[in-house]
Amino acid sequence: MTAMIPGKTSAEPVQARASVAPHSGATDTTDTVGEISVRGLKKTFVRAGGLHVAAVDDVSLDVAPGEVVVLLGPSGCGKTTLLRCIAGLETPTSGTVQISGRVVYSGESNVRVPPEQRRVSMMFQSYALWPHMTVSENVAYPLKAQRIPRAERGAMVSRALERVGIAELADQYPNQLSGGQQQRVALARCLVVRPSVVLFDEPLSNVDAKVREQLRLELIEMQRELQYSAIYVTHDQEEAMQIAHRIAVMKAGRVVQIGTCEEIYTTPATRYVANFVGSVNELPGILSKVGSTSVVRAAIGQVQVASERISRHAKSSESVVAYIRPEDVRLTEDTGNPTNVNEWVGTVSTVMFLGAHTEYVVAVGGCRLRVWDGSRRNWKEGSRVRVTLPPESVGVLPPEDLPVEESAA
Amino acid sequence: MTSYLPKMRGLGQLELLGERWRRAAFWRGRHISVFSVIATLLGALLAALVVYPLVVMCVRVFAPDGELSLSAFRQVANDPAMPTILRDTTIVLGTSTLLALAIGLLFAWCNERSDARMGWASRVLPLTPLLLPPIALSVGWLFLADERAGYLNVVLRRLMKMVGIERETGPINITSWWGMIFVYTLWLVPFAYLILSAALRNIDPALEEASRINGAGPIQTALKVSLPAIRPAIVSATLSMLVSGIAVFSIGRTIGVNARVRVLSVHIVSLVQSYPSQLDEAVVLGLLVLVVVGTLWLAQRRVSTRARHATIGGKASSHSIVALGPWRWVARSAMIVYLAATSVLPILGLVLVALQPFWTPRVDWRGLSFENFGRLLGSGSFARSALKTSLTLGVTGATAGMIVAAIIAVYARQGGARRAVVVDAITKAPGAISHVVVGVAFIVALAGAPFNLHGTVLILFLAYLVIYMPQAAIAAGSASDQVGRDLYEASVICGAKMGRTFGRIALPLMLPGLAAGWALLFVVMAGDLTASALLAGTKNPVVGFVFLDIYENGTYSMVAAMGTIMGLISTLVVAIVMAVARPRFGVGGVLG
């Protein structure tokens, strides 16, 4: 799926386990490593009272050159800790981290390259601009630290400032700038050394919505132009979708699914992923076969599903969860008793006009379905409608989130 | 690999050892930075300076001839003066600590939680012990409130005469139990205030607001909600006052001697200075102080660690400010009277005596002159060279102390929790050791062979460094805490080595806090009395030593002149540094 750099394997044979979803179609990453390569990384904290808590629990991850991988998850899922382990700001408990073909951390062979020697750039959530230096001094700092001759420095700094569009602010101090401008300075400081790896730690969570959208677009353009590899941490699924080539969804220190945005959205590996990325209607029931077709016997009735949309872990004649995204549910005029499969008659109970689409909550039998309809037919609350769940849009997942070991290929 | 070892010979074996050393788990894959090596060395050096003299001192007492001996303990136990000294120390310290706690609590509450708040007072209050060293404070009060010649008494007697009461002495007598407790209390209040006001500032105002909304009045809220919420800080303040109070020497040496109240710190110094010197008895008493203070200190640490969890963040909002009504001015007057009593009044007393040929209650206003200052600081005088040495020691000692503390503070923050605990122990441990004990230990361990530092400036420098390292560490630590962690991390990520991160990021950002710490260190070092009384001599005179010398052998006017100079220098340095080192970029520096 993505280009891999020629196999530079680490000294120790690493036990490669792709933490990918069973049907996400990700390539096997046993033999090749990317620009950033993480294997079996673990970071445990000891809480007061001696309790060990795994903030990052056995994570493996590859980022190809020029690729942006987003770590997505709620706060406390370990995504920032993982990023800090890669940067070298935290020392993991075990595992390996390779950056640009160089082992920078290995628990087994005790390699610990300090962060200043890892040659990565990082953008912090708080901007982390030094208040006692001007904008250009801030941006020149990494060049000085890497002993770039003074003659070249000036040109590099002004080029970096121009690139992010704040050349005129060179002599200002950070506390004289707006949040968006500060963020641009931080970005210029990141990019001035022409890094091959950039780490982003929720860089946009401190600026307001409009500026955030603008900066997000600029970030994407910048990345496409400079072609650095990036790991980007966020809890905002929309931001993740926009920025990522691939998304790694995290939960409790583990990567539960990694794949392209489309894969994550259309074929989530677990109910957790399905619910975290986008909205879903869930229909718990029993999976069974009727002739050659698969159906889920749910409270709403028999829901026919396409066999390729059934998770490998959903077992026949056991409880499963059928799900459908609100935009996949179709609403039509109620014309008497439905005869086709996956068709029901329901009552519109709530109407919410949201601009791009209208959200309806439709009561069908004992179930309430969320439906996003862009057709502007404007059903009123209380009107009866025909609800269709196209079988190819209905997925089937096991009821419980399986531990990663079991869901790995 | 071990099985090959016996077969190896000569060079091969050495190489193997070198190889093993390199491959030892600790070093493997670790990149040692110059900065961390320096920080570690400084920490080790500091630890050695604390531990070595104490160990030598203990060996000297317990095993003078290589055999365990308890004769020094017996000597102390049989000393007929001991029960009186212990009783006097307990009474003075206990009473003044309780009084200072009450006053500190009241002032802290007024400044943080009521409309009696005065911004400048809350800033100056914790600084008063720096503006006027305790020796100047107690001598100043001696001049003010001596039974016969005290100026305050003169004024009061004149007022009483107007209402028909005539007396020759009094009404106040500073050279008494109450005078002693009074000056101790004056000196201790800021220690309580500093801790209590910070605690009151940090409790969540919602706690108090909830109490008010549920129908409790302001006084009831203060007693039932605010006070219990800062209980850990109250314990911490009490212990901190006891630790400081047991060490203070100058009040006992000046007022205490005249009042015939004998405190332990004075007794230990006099044992060392007696002829023949009773060093071992002094050491035993030093250990006694060490054990008492160490126990208190451990207790304080336990309490304050818990206190961190107990206090909840949140800015005091204007809603929780209690309107005192007419009491507002009573509260404000009380604070102003206190500030005057610790600064302006004693300085007035000092200046008045210093400008006269001799101390007399009848001031000849036309006869005032600077003659005493001229004689004191005349070329070639003892005091002049002492002043020079003290100022040099103050500048070099404060600079060295703050640099070491800053390096160690930044180093501690870079590592994990364990490193922070070790660093904390090394830098703050001397706080548990009374200054007198450090002085005695330095005499025993470093004055004689093989170091032969007796009578040198170096032994004073090292002793000051050890004694005042806790203050330096606290100032540097709070300065470092005010710099966000990601500002360091951003520098490291940029590829900067630790040394550059320290020099270009940490140091400039910590500067306001470090400057405040420097001022504090300068004042306490230049005006040190306790360690100087033991370690300084005619070959290395410092201000504190000369002050005591004049106090015992010179005239009161000379003492006053010396005290005025000390107070003036302290006040000037503190004022200048506080004015210059205002934080520029929103990171505040608080003198701690």
**CATH code of the domain containing A311:** 2.40.50.140
Strands ordered across the beta sheet of A68-72 = A121-123, A197-201, A229-234, A68-72, A246-251, A254-260
Same domain, B547 and B463: yes
Strand partners, B341: none
- Structural domain includes residue B7: no
Element (H, E) at B22: helix B10-23
- Structural domain includes residue B173: yes
Distance (Å, rounded) from C-alpha A21 to C-alpha A257? 5
- At residue B561, the pLDDT reads 87
Domain final residue, candidates A266, A299, A320: A266
Contacts of B25 in chain A (CB under 8 A): 110
Same domain, A301 and A388: yes
Residue with the bigger pLDDT between B414 and A173: it is A173
Tokens of B41: 């060395």
CB contact (8 A) between residue B505 and residue A106? no
A407 pLDDT higher than 70: no
Same domain, A238 and A331: no
Q: Which residue among B495, B509, B586 sits closest to A145, beta carbon to beta carbon? A: B495
Distance (Å, rounded) from C-alpha B393 to C-alpha B400? 10
Same domain, B447 and B462: yes
Same domain, A68 and A209: yes
Distance (Å, rounded) from C-alpha A405 to C-alpha A384? 46
Q: How many CB pairs under 8 A join A and B?
A: 89
Q: How many domains does chain A have?
A: 2
Write the pLDDT tens digit of every residue in B56-109: 888 877 777 777 777 777 777 787 888 888 888 899 899 999 999 999 888 888
Tokens of A359: 């959200």
- Structural domain includes residue A147: no
- Structural domain includes residue B300: no
Mean pLDDT value across residues A100-108: 90
Whose CA is closest to B522, among B514, B533, B511?
B514
- Structural domain includes residue A247: yes
Least confident of B10-19, B117-126, B358-367: B10-19
CATH number for the domain spanning B110: value is 1.10.3720.10
Cα of B489 to nearest chain A Cα, Å: 7
- Structural domain includes residue A333: yes
- Structural domain includes residue B534: yes
Write the pLDDT tens digit of every residue in A271-312: 999 988 888 999 999 988 877 888 888 888 888 888 888 888
Chain position carrying tokens 């009866």:
A384
- At residue A160, the pLDDT reads 92
Q: Please give the C-alpha separations between residue B189 and each of A377, B11, B160, B434, in angstroms, as whole numbers.
A: 77, 67, 31, 19
CB contact (8 A) between residue A112 and residue B489? no
Mean pLDDT value across residues A9-17: 35
CATH number for the domain spanning A54: value is 3.40.50.300
Same domain, A115 and A250: yes
- At residue B320, the pLDDT reads 61
> Between β-strands A301-305 and A319-324, what pairing exists: parallel, antiparallel or unpaired?
unpaired
Q: Where are the alpha helices (DSSP H) in A72-208?
A: 79-87, 135-145, 150-163, 179-191
- At residue A122, the pLDDT reads 92
Same domain, B356 and B377: no
A172-189 burial: b if 16+ Cβ within 10 Å, else e: ebbeebeebbbbbbbbbb
Contacts of B496 in chain A (CB under 8 A): 116, 141-142, 145
B514 CB near a chain A CB, below 8 Å? no
Q: Which residue among A112, A124, A189 sits closest to B29, beta carbon to beta carbon? A: A112
Same domain, A248 and A320: no
Distance (Å, rounded) from C-alpha B21 to C-alpha A32? 35
Same domain, A284 and A254: no
A89 pLDDT higher than 70: yes
ipTM value = 0.77
B476 is in which domain, residue-wise?
Answer: 36-44+370-592
A234 pLDDT higher than 90: yes
- Structural domain includes residue B10: no
Domain final residue, candidates A220, A241, A266: A266
Same domain, B106 and B242: yes
Same domain, B498 and B523: yes
Domain final residue, candidates A240, A266, A292: A266
Residue A403 phi/psi, 5-degree rounding, is: -60, 155
Domain final residue, candidates B334, B363, B392: B363
Same domain, A201 and A296: no
B497 CB near a chain A CB, below 8 Å? yes
- At residue A404, the pLDDT reads 44
> Between β-strands A94-99 and A102-106, what pairing exists: parallel, antiparallel or unpaired?
antiparallel
Same domain, A43 and A99: yes
- Structural domain includes residue B474: yes
Query: Omega before A6 cis (within 30°)?
Result: no
- Structural domain includes residue B272: no
Same domain, B467 and B379: yes
Give the chain A residue whose CA is nearest to the CA of B485: A128
Same domain, B344 and B465: no
Q: Which residue among A124, A128, A131 sits closest to B586, beta carbon to beta carbon? A: A131
Same domain, B379 and B449: yes
- At residue A72, the pLDDT reads 93
Q: How many domains does chain B have?
A: 2
Write the pLDDT tens digit of every residue in A182-230: 989 999 999 998 889 999 998 888 778 888 888 899 899 989 999 999 9
B279 pLDDT higher than 80: no
- At residue A26, the pLDDT reads 38
B585 CB near a chain A CB, below 8 Å? yes
Same domain, A220 and A335: no
Same domain, B203 and B154: yes
The residues near B61 (Cβ < 8 Å, ≥ 6 apart) are B72, B280, B283, B284, B287
Same domain, B443 and B543: yes
Tokens of B262: 């004998």
pLDDT > 70 in chain A, percent: 89
Domain final residue, candidates B330, B363, B396: B363
CB contact (8 A) between residue B29 and residue A109? yes
Q: How many Cβ atoms are within 10 Å of B84's Cβ, its own excluded?
A: 14
Contacts of B509 in chain A (CB under 8 A): 130-132
Write the pLDDT tens digit of every residue in B208-238: 777 777 777 777 777 777 777 777 778 878 8
pLDDT band at B301 (very low <50, low <70, confident <90, very high): low
Q: Where are the alpha helices (DSSP H) in A45-173?
A: 79-87, 135-145, 150-163
- Structural domain includes residue B480: yes
Same domain, A293 and A251: no
Contacts of A129 in chain B (CB under 8 A): 490
- Structural domain includes residue A374: yes
Same domain, A218 and A87: yes
- Structural domain includes residue A154: no
A99 is in which domain, residue-wise?
Answer: 36-120+195-266
Chain position carrying tokens 């086709």:
A340
pLDDT band at B303 (very low <50, low <70, confident <90, very high): low
Give the chain B residue whose CA is nearest to the CA of A139: B494
Q: Which residue among B28, B500, B508 sits closest to A110, beta carbon to beta carbon? A: B28
Same domain, B388 and B359: no
Q: Would you call B378 exposed, middle or buried from its count of C-beta atoms within 10 A (0-12, 13-18, 19+)?
A: exposed
Same domain, B356 and B378: no
Same domain, A102 and A207: yes
Q: Please give the C-alpha separations between residue B98 and each of B84, B111, B153, B332, in angstroms, as whole numbers.
A: 21, 20, 27, 21
